[in-house]
Amino acid sequence: MESNKYQKWLYPLLILLSTALIYGRSLNYGPVNWDNQLARTDTFGEGLSLGGLKQVLSASQPVREMVTAMLAPWGAKAVWLPYHLVSLAFYLGTVFFFYLTALSLLGRIDRLRGLRYWRWGALAATAIFALHPGHVEVAGWVSGQKDALLGFFYLASFYFYIRSETPSRREIIFSLVLYLLALGSKPTAVTLPLTLALFDWTFRRPWLAEGFLKKRLTLYLAYLFPALAAIVLFLFTSTNLGFDLSLSELYFRLGKITGAICFSALKLLFPVNLCLRYAGFRFGGLADPGLYLYHAAAGALIYWTYRAFRRDKPWAFFILWGLLALLPNINLTQISIERADRYYYLSSIGYAGLAGYAVAVVAGNLAGGALTALRALFLSLLVSLGAIAYNQSGYWRDGITAWTRALNLYPDLTLARTGLGASYLRADNFDMALRTYQPLLVGRNPNTEAIKGAADISIRRGQTETAVKLLRLGLQFAPQDQDLVEGLLRIYLNRADADSAEELLSGWLAGQPDSYSGLLNLASLRRRQNRKEEAVQALEKVIQLYPNYPEAYNSLAALRVEAHDTLEAERLLEKALSLGINTKMTRLNLAALYRNSGRETEALEIYSHYGPEELDLKALEFLGAQNFAAGRLDQALDYFLRMVKRDSLMARAYNNAGVVYESLERYREADSMYRKAVELQPDYPDAVFNRGNIFRLLGDNLAALGQYRLADSLFGGADRTVVELLARTSLALGDSIGARKAMARLRQLDSMAARSGTAH
């Protein structure tokens, strides 16, 4: 194998192709977890504008945010293929850089200590890394981009640092830029500077005696400063370490660290029973044997590695690399935390490198048939890894499949049960969702996520009292839970229960006076109470506190429209639009403003960018009317029928569709629409009159006359067209008396109209 000059690129290419084939099955997979929130379609669903770019660059993870923003327009259309293509492309790129890195590392070991089959070892390490089933979450999950980006930039940065004996200025610049991109993808890249120093200590030690470390200090600081900045940003924005700990509590938290080390090593060595999430590290007190088992196993591994490192054993570098890469995922914030395969993605780089080194060492001690047997055994191992990875990727097909797998493996895992319930809920399978939530709704401490799901089902089924009871129950256990408060408040507002809404909001704002959602809901309540000045004050406070969020601008613009100040409303909407996020909401509100102020052309231009399913009923009616006026009857009918489908109780939607059917001379269908409109709203004069027209066109003048008389009554006798058709229909039926009466009324209406015109 070593003599094959083409193996350097042929075999890596085969590995890449095999990896692409395995994960090709996931290209049509949709959301699994709470991916709709991660996709940020509400924020960037219309693409990345200049204002949105400012938001992206100010984010704590701008690279991940940039990719999310660029993909969001696809996610808004529920098209997930681009998400998978991005993840797979960067994963394959990571595999490529892993191969180059493994070649460089094992090649150095060969030059320093002799490692005959180092190329074979590099290929073995690359194949193990590429096909490892633990990477399915990164490569096959629809929202796995940030870890795929992280791995790519992390390894590329490391490779450009180590590729030469003495890195050139260009290589250092490449490495630093790639490292910044890695940090911008996910802050878990913070330990790379330590890995670089470890590499220098292990493989460039001959230069240390000549002041190598002193020469490198400035370079190390160039890597270290952005890492420290990322750590500080994380500590201030994401977590509270809680340094006020007792010794026993600290011992428990150290158990989480050693547990993570043991668990990651176990899953990397034996990648079976993999799933979306694993149960967290839980200890039953100082007497829990698991606590001491984790400490003993991790301690033995660390001690053994330390001794090997002191003895200049090259394989110690790979273990230490894996431990350093794992370290950022072992924060001290909780004793119990659910685990996921992607948390150990970077650490698998070190362990895969160690496996490749081991293969090279074993191969170097074999010959002849034994070496052939090793090759066959290793090939069988790779086939097994690929088969497991292919099978595992199937569990990421959708939320129900993924969470069912997790719940089957960990029946007591609360997150798996709430995730499965939420997946059934998104699929509108309410019965299965309730059945899944049920065990979490009983007992002394019901789960708040299950309560939210059950309340959502009750609301969708129209069982608002049940929903209120559930939400109130949840607030007893989590009084500051924003979702529970907002859900209950929404019910109160919808049923005009101002007193209950006031009480709930007062309690919320008493604890969080500057709450963004709390102030927005306060403005909504004040608007419903017709206390519009107070609503304006609340929204102005939101804008002052949160100037980069567009919702308050939109709500304040609506109040300005009600006050007939369309210029100020337009200014507010333009300001919201300039922020570059949630632009769909703002654009549609701007279109409504144009529509209602007679600027139809501008409204049509905005609406032309959206599909009918994205528009509200008023927009659909506006577009239907515009198409009808332009003679595009089929398009007009489509909009009106969409209104019917969207709101089956809206009489006006049926009447509008009937008018188009009538214009298309499809009279029976028109009559069906008018009849439904009248059934829904018996005092709807337009629908009654239009139905009379259909009867007249079908030759049933008697039925038409009955409809015209009813329409005349509903119009209060003041509609000239109705009276005129009363006269014509009466005459057609031979009712000369009725016709004369109608004609007399018609002359009277004309006389009144003439006098009114003269007066004006």
458-472 pLDDT, tens digit each: 999 989 999 999 999
- For residue 396, what is the DSSP state? G
Q: How far apart are CA 495 and CA 497, in angstroms?
A: 6
pLDDT at 332 over 50: no
634-660 pLDDT, tens digit each: 999 999 999 999 999 999 999 999 999
pLDDT at 209 over 70: no
492-512 pLDDT, tens digit each: 988 889 999 999 999 989 988
Q: State whether the Cα torsion 694-696-698-700 is positive or negative.
A: positive
C-alpha distances in angstroms, 389 versus 90, 215, 340?
Answer: 18, 45, 15
Beta carbons of 640 and 651 less than 8 angstroms apart: no
CB atoms within 10 A of CB 532: 14
CA 688 to chain CA centroid, Å, is 48
141-190 pLDDT, tens digit each: 999 999 999 999 999 999 999 998 888 899 999 999 999 999 999 999 99
pLDDT at 367 over 70: yes
Q: Pick the residue with more confidence: 536 or 248?
A: 536
Amino acid, res. 222: A
Encoded tokens for 254: 């150290």
Beta carbons of 432 and 453 less than 8 angstroms apart: no
Stretch 242-268: mean pLDDT, rounded? 75
546-584 pLDDT, tens digit each: 999 999 999 999 999 999 999 999 999 999 999 988 888
At residue 245, the pLDDT reads 55
pLDDT at 33 over 70: yes
Q: Which of 616, 638, 610 has its CA nearest to residue 626?
A: 638
At residue 207, the pLDDT reads 53
DSSP 3-state of 580: coil
Encoded tokens for 516: 């963004």
Query: The pTM is what?
Result: 0.85
Encoded tokens for 105: 């590392």
Encoded tokens for 20: 């692409």
CA 703 to chain CA centroid, Å, is 56
Amino acid, res. 757: G
At residue 238, the pLDDT reads 57
Beta carbons of 169 and 422 less than 8 angstroms apart: no
At residue 749, the pLDDT reads 86
Encoded tokens for 190: 């913070």
Give the model's confidence band at 7: pLDDT under 50 very low, under 70 low, under 90 confident, else very high. Answer: low
Stretch 18-46: mean pLDDT, rounded? 87
DSSP 3-state of 152: helix
At residue 211, the pLDDT reads 63
Q: How far apart are CA 193 and CA 205, in angstroms?
A: 17
At residue 213, the pLDDT reads 65
Stretch 80-91: mean pLDDT, rounded? 96
Percent of the chain with pLDDT over 90: 68
Beta carbons of 125 and 132 less than 8 angstroms apart: no
Rounded to 10 degrees, the C-alpha dihedral 710/713/718/719 comes to -10
3-state secondary structure string across 644-676: HHHCCCCHHHHHHHHHHHHHCCCHHHHHHHHHH
At residue 247, the pLDDT reads 67
At residue 699, the pLDDT reads 92
In sequence order, what are the residues at sequence separation of 6 or more whose Cβ sits closer than 8 angstroms to the Cβ of residue 174? Answer: 156, 157, 160
Percent of the chain with pLDDT over 70: 94
DSSP 3-state of 272: coil
DSSP 3-state of 512: coil
DSSP 3-state of 331: coil
Exposed / middle / buried, residue 517 (Cβ in 10 Å: 0-12, 13-18, 19+): middle
Q: How far apart are CA 460 and CA 467, in angstroms?
A: 10
Q: How far apart are CA 654 and CA 671, in angstroms?
A: 10
Give, in degrees to the nearest 5, the angle at Cα 28 between 27 and 33: 95
Domains of the chain: 7-30+80-394 (no CATH), 547-610 (1.25.40.10)
3-state secondary structure string across 10-42: HHHHHHHHHHHHHHHCCCCCCCCCCHHHHHCHH
Stretch 708-725: mean pLDDT, rounded? 92
At residue 757, the pLDDT reads 60
Encoded tokens for 28: 């049509």
Beta carbons of 480 and 512 less than 8 angstroms apart: yes
3-state secondary structure string across 595-634: HHCCCHHHHHHHHCCCCHHHCCHHHHHHHHHHHHHCCCHH
At residue 1, the pLDDT reads 43
Mean residue pLDDT of the chain comes to 90
- Looking at the DSSP assignment, which residues form a beta bridge with residue 339? 278
At residue 46, the pLDDT reads 81
Q: How far apart are CA 629 and CA 635, in angstroms?
A: 11
Q: How far apart are CA 571 and CA 590, in angstroms?
A: 10
Beta carbons of 594 and 603 less than 8 angstroms apart: yes
In sequence order, what are the residues at sequence separation of 6 or more whose Cβ sits closer than 8 angstroms to the Cβ of residue 421? Answer: 433, 434, 436, 437, 440, 450, 453
Block residue for tokens 């230490």: 320
At residue 212, the pLDDT reads 63
Q: Which of 330, 339, 345 has its CA nearest to residue 280?
A: 339
Classify each residue of 558-574 as buried b or exposed e, where b means 16 or more C-beta atoms within 10 Å of its C-beta: bbbbeeeebeebbebbe
pLDDT at 284 over 90: no
**Counts for the chain of helices (H) and strands (E), in that order:** 38, 0
pLDDT at 396 over 90: yes
In sequence order, what are the residues at sequence separation of 6 or more whose Cβ sits closer than 8 angstroms to the Cβ of residue 494? Answer: none
Phi, psi of 692 (to 5 degrees): -60, -40
Q: How far apart are CA 92 and CA 631, in angstroms?
A: 54
Q: Supply the DSSP string of 664-711, one letter for each residue.
A: TT-HHHHHHHHHHHHHH-TT-HHHHHHHHHHHHHTT-HHHHHHHHHHH
Q: How far apart are CA 118 and CA 552, in angstroms?
A: 62
At residue 760, the pLDDT reads 43
Encoded tokens for 622: 């506006």
